[in-house]
Amino acid sequence: MNGAAPSPGSSRGQLPSGRTLPVRVMVVEDSLVVRRLLTHIIASDPRLLLVGAVESAEEALRSLPRLRPDVVSMDIRLPGMDGLEATRRIMEENPTPIVVIADAVEDASLRISMNALRAGALSVVEKPVGLSSRHYEAIAEEICTQLFIMSQVPVIRRRAIGRAAEPPFPVLPEALPMAPPGAAPVRPSVVAMAASTGGPPAPARVIGALPAGFPAPLLLVQHMGAPFMEGFAAWLDGLVPLKVEIGRDGVTPLPGHVYVAPGDRHLLLSRAGPLQVSAGPPVGGQRPSANLLFRSVAEAAGTRGLGILLTGMGEDGARGLTELRRQGGFTITEHESSAVVYGMPAAAVRLGGSSASLPLHLIAPRLLRLAMPEARA
């Protein structure tokens, strides 16, 4: 999950969240080699301060109240209690921002990593490689950036999705109008969705509530490290009724299918109908760009395009969603009451790009009423 980090500045100071620099980091990693590597990476960034490095989840749970880190770097494959269960326990007992450090190519690690995000972790990044690797600098920079950014995200005590009841949301009006309504929305021919920090659980919850016979294709931008996108799509495919796959250039999107933007590539809908996958430059620091996806749907589908902007840091998607609404498409933003980070949706609301602002659990029901009005009881 990408995001533009604030300027490192000095090693002392105050963050917008009110926390003071440097950010306190605890590392949970059973491999001595990787633990030392993470210690070296964190020590090289003046924004970060290592306050503890432990080799098991059990030790992490014991140490957390004493060390009081601002953010936890969590390995997934641990002896004894694994990183998924550790994440659940931390979010239930002592909520702290968690960044998962995972092997991007090992299937079991990917599945556990995705489920850790559902349990409350905020981000997943690739495990560091040796100092001699040509990828070392990029991976080290991404680890530090994610630790720094995620330390500023407020987290709340929660229970994991699927383990107990969903977190309650306040009772709200079904739709909170953001701008004067236009013509009544028409049945969408395509749905575009985007999420960043706080995903993948947010899109998984919305898509998981749709039936396999959903009558429109769904195009999804999820900000996440490129090496994880194939695994994310496979994880989501095993979780929801719709068929999920990585979007491919030239493919005609089919109803009941979800097309995920490939790693480090833009996903667009062409006016002729097929998907376009582009290696064009990042937009606002993002590739894939939610702005480009929404804009392409506005141009290709017009009033029959529907856009959904979920939790995320920054403003990606806000301008594109606003353009889609101006073209007559119906647009939904996740309400502040359920968004892990109310950044991207808030930006769209400010621009007048939201037809309706809904908490997460009400988005799929509204989408079903728009796309399948005949299915209403």
- Mean pLDDT, rounded, for 221-238: 91
Q: Strand order of the sheet with strand 48-54?
A: 48-54, 23-28, 71-75, 98-102, 123-126
Nearest of 355, 9, 3, 56 to residue 185 by alpha carbon:
355
Low-confidence winner among 23-32, 49-58, 168-177 (lowest mean pLDDT): 168-177
- Mean pLDDT, rounded, for 136-144: 92
Low-confidence winner among 66-75, 191-200, 354-363 (lowest mean pLDDT): 191-200
- Confidence at residue 179, expressed as pLDDT on a 0 to 100 scale: 41
Q: Is 230 exposed, middle or buried (0-12, 13-18, 19+ CB in 10 A)?
A: middle
- Confidence at residue 22, expressed as pLDDT on a 0 to 100 scale: 94
- Confidence at residue 373, expressed as pLDDT on a 0 to 100 scale: 86
> Would you say residue 115 has pLDDT above 80?
yes
In the chain, the percentage of residues whose pLDDT exceeds 90 is 68
Mean pLDDT estimate for the chain:
87
- Confidence at residue 157, expressed as pLDDT on a 0 to 100 scale: 60
Nearest of 152, 81, 167, 79 to residue 120 by alpha carbon:
167
With beta carbons less than 8 A apart as the criterion, state whether 110 and 104 touch.
Answer: yes
> Would you say residue 77 has pLDDT above 50?
yes
With beta carbons less than 8 A apart as the criterion, state whether 248 and 263 touch.
Answer: no
**C-alpha neighbours within 13 Å on the C-beta side of residue 137:** 1
With beta carbons less than 8 A apart as the criterion, state whether 315 and 347 touch.
Answer: yes
More confident residue, 4 or 93: 93
> Would you say residue 2 has pLDDT above 50?
no
CA separation for the pair 269, 200 (Å, rounded): 22
> Would you say residue 235 has pLDDT above 60?
yes
With beta carbons less than 8 A apart as the criterion, state whether 338 and 360 touch.
Answer: yes
Tell me if the pTM is above 0.85.
no
pLDDT tens figures, 245-300: 999 999 999 999 999 999 999 999 999 999 999 999 999 999 999 999 999 999 99
**What distance lies between CA 265 and its chain's CA centroid?**
16
- Confidence at residue 30, expressed as pLDDT on a 0 to 100 scale: 95
- Confidence at residue 8, expressed as pLDDT on a 0 to 100 scale: 37
- Confidence at residue 9, expressed as pLDDT on a 0 to 100 scale: 37
**What CA dihedral angle connects 12, 16, 19 and 23, to 10 degrees?**
-60
CA separation for the pair 349, 178 (Å, rounded): 6
> Would you say residue 147 has pLDDT above 90?
yes
**Which stretch of DSSP H or E encloses residue 49?**
strand 48-54
Residue with tokens 């996903």: 267
10 Å Cβ neighbour count for 83?
29
- The CATH 3.40.50.180 domain(s) of the chain lie at 190-375
Residue with tokens 């490095």: 53
- Mean pLDDT, rounded, for 85-101: 94
> Would you say residue 243 has pLDDT above 90?
yes
Catalytic site positions: 196, 223, 316
Domain 190-375: which topology?
Answer: Rossmann fold (3.40.50)
CATH of domain 13-150: 3.40.50.2300
How far CA 3 is from CA of 60, 85, 297, 341, in Å, comes to 27, 27, 23, 12
- Confidence at residue 134, expressed as pLDDT on a 0 to 100 scale: 81
**Which stretch of DSSP H or E encloses residue 326?**
helix 318-326
- Confidence at residue 104, expressed as pLDDT on a 0 to 100 scale: 62
- Confidence at residue 7, expressed as pLDDT on a 0 to 100 scale: 37
- The CATH 3.40.50.2300 domain(s) of the chain lie at 13-150
- Confidence at residue 16, expressed as pLDDT on a 0 to 100 scale: 53
In the chain, the percentage of residues whose pLDDT exceeds 70 is 85
The confidence band for 135, taking pLDDT boundaries of 50, 70 and 90, is confident
- Confidence at residue 19, expressed as pLDDT on a 0 to 100 scale: 62
